[in-house]
Structure 1
Amino acid sequence: MNNSEKIKLGISIGDFNGIGIEIILKTFLDKRMLDFCTPVIFGSTKLLSAYKKSMNINTPFNGVKQIDKTVPGKLNIINLWNDDINVELGKHTEIAGKYAFLSLEAATNSLINNEIDVLVTAPINKDNIQSEEFVFPGHTEYLESKLTGESLMILMAGNLRIGLITGHIPVSEISKTITPELIQQKVSIMHNTLIQDFAISKPKIAILGLNPHCGDNGVIGKEDDDIIRPTIAEIQKEGKLVYGPYAADSFFGSENYKNFDAILAMYHDQGLAPFKTLSFGEGVNFTAGLDKVRTSPDHGTAYELAGKGKANINSFKEAVFSAIQVFKSREEYKSLTKNTLKKRR
């Protein structure tokens, strides 16, 4: 992409029985959104036309067969299939998972080939998308397998950014998965992304403890004292502003989180429960650590809302804006660090 072009923003449709297509169409019903990017939906003109008609969403779009035929200033749809699909809004179906993957796969390939600049993914059903080609707990792990780098899931809303040391794994596996190496890896990714993607020169990062009250000196578990504290001390020797562990039960209620640029939680619900309490419907899921930018809304398929016209577009809209901003920040960082100062002879 050169400086005169708008960012080309790819969109995967997710599970079409959920609210994904509704929030996409409603987002770009506001023509001002086209001032910020050239959106490209990977799906089917027949499918989206049916949605527009059934839900009375009059979002205009431009159907094309190839990515190089997309038109700036319009909502473009790459026509991946012409099949007649049985849409059952609000239902978990195998066919919805099949087409969710086809959309995601095509969008990811375009991202890899630099045909789009960023990717925003609408929600999938993590069960019905499973197949021989998709054997992952979610988007994050799939994209890590396709792109370059090591991923870190970050949920963000404004200045609140929460990353996860462990992601989509069973609770029974958490304590045995947390190692000094894993903590160091996730801190490194978070530190780097805060610098290059958010333009924070000296980021402050908080790390939550694993056990209640950070183990109470070993009374309620030894992981905090044996693994987490020593690892934080080692990381601090590198000059990184990393602090903790903090007891997770009081960290957010006391508003201590406002003193940091980012927080690393030990496991999924430890981080996402307070995040969604504080900012549900406004948050964004950002996959940090990879060579390409991907964001998504902070909610799932919301089958219970599908077809009722009540889906809130705020989180998806924020995902679009966040992808654009992260891409711009990363490009600026690359430009600033491309040519290092040479020593004078």
Structure 2
Amino acid sequence: MESEIAYDFPPMARIYKDGRVERLMGTATVPASLDEKTGVNSKDIVISPESGLSARLYIPKLPGSTGVPRKLSLLVYFHGGGFIIESTQSPAYHNYLNALVSEAEVVVVSVEYRRAPERPLPVAYDDCWAALGWVGFHANGQGPEEWLNLFADLDRVFLSGDSAGANIAHNIAVRHGAEKIDGIGLSGIILVHPFFWGTEPVGSESSEAEVRDRVAAIWKFVSPGSVDGVDDPLMNPGKDPKLSGLGCSRVLVWVAEQDFLKDRGWYYGEVLRKSGWGGEVEVVETKGENHVFHLFYPTCDNAVDMMKRVVAFLDEDKK
């Protein structure tokens, strides 16, 4: 007898009453490798054998080495997928990061955090915080991963992600502002189509009751311990008393015109400016596009423009 469905979140996942999780997308994987097109090299490493926390590392093709390798900015990346689907091994993320590493000449640590519902929030946040702490172990060039010891400049660290990954990047930056990881110089964060929400509608959200109910249901499912629902500060930065302590000086936010999360990205920029935080935030809207379009259509004009502006944001810190 087929088990009854307990939760249905199309097109992402379906969860059955017997506990079985059926992920409907984001399950394809590709191995780490030397990318022939870009010359970018990648490998998978284990950060914590106890928890199973792991990451995929990327380094760009570098000129023939003589003497000490040149140190590069480090980007810590958190993939999206509603905290439920996708992984560091997904073709879309692997291809995107190969391109970004090549264009920006940065080192990337793409974090394989544990996902809901098997590991509900705050596990993903704790995993990503632990990953950043592991990165900090390399500040003196004596850490466990040679690629970071040789190539990563930990005075120029960035956090980024899309959708749920952008939510994670923001919250890790807030936590870093409050707790400070030794050895990490956090320069900026790049939030692409961030997964934020709240009880009170902003922008056009008041006319989208079905969407509002769906987002609230997903958040309750992935974070069953949250007592404030979508007004949890993890989901609604406007409710976070720690927002003014965001632990970096520069923020770049991307929104897409046809994305139902668009108004939340604009709202985030507003509340961050009003919070008393002293840094610079820029919100950029891509016309005619939908949620994470750059992953699905990486060669379209808007995706190429996004890549150029992300690279410029990463490069600005070198000046």
* TM-score between both structures, scaled by the size of structure 2: 0.28
Higher helix share: 1
Greater relative contact order: 1 or 2 (C-alpha under 8 angstroms, separation 6 or more)?
A: 1
* TM-score between both structures, scaled by the size of structure 1: 0.27
Rg (Cα) greater in structure: 1
